[in-house]
Homo-oligomer: A and B are copies of this chain.
Amino acid sequence: MKSSEVTCCTPVSDGLDGRQAVELADLLKVLADPARLRIVSMLASVADGEVCVCDMTEPLGLSQPTVSHHIKVLREAGFISSEKRSKWVYHRLVPAQLESVRAALAVRQPV
């Protein structure tokens, strides 16, 4: 801490408390992986919004278990939803979750 005599700068009053910071960090950790970002990108760019794992392993260059792992992480964080139909599991984006992260990253102007 600064010396009591000369002030260094204005005292800090952070708008983000510990819990909020951990929660947001957890969501960002999920997104902070190249493979998962590309999965999100795939789901966002595909026409009908649905993609199964079998079509992602090759473009990602990852093994099937690894892709399944990333899918699970994304789903548990609320970024995608999954539905099993017949032999395949279809995954689609949950735009609201991505938007909530975007909103949390907005710099709020001091009045």
Q: State which size class the interface on A falls in.
A: 35 or more
Smallest CB gap from A2: residue in B: B54
Quick check: B107 and A52 within 8 Å, CB to CB?
no
Quick check: A9 and B102 within 8 Å, CB to CB?
no
Residues of B within 8 A of A90 (CB): 9
Measured CB to CB, the residues of A under 8 A from B are 1-2, 8-16, 18, 21-22, 24-25, 28-29, 31-35, 37-38, 41-42, 44-48, 50-52, 54-59, 88, 90, 93, 95, 98-99, 101-102, 105-108, 110
Interface CB pairs A-B, < 8 A, 23? A1-B54, A2-B54, A9-B48, A9-B51, A9-B88, A10-B48, A10-B51, A12-B56, A14-B38, A14-B42, A14-B59, A16-B41, A18-B38, A21-B38, A21-B41, A25-B34, A28-B28, A28-B31, A28-B37, A31-B32, A31-B105, A44-B110, A45-B110
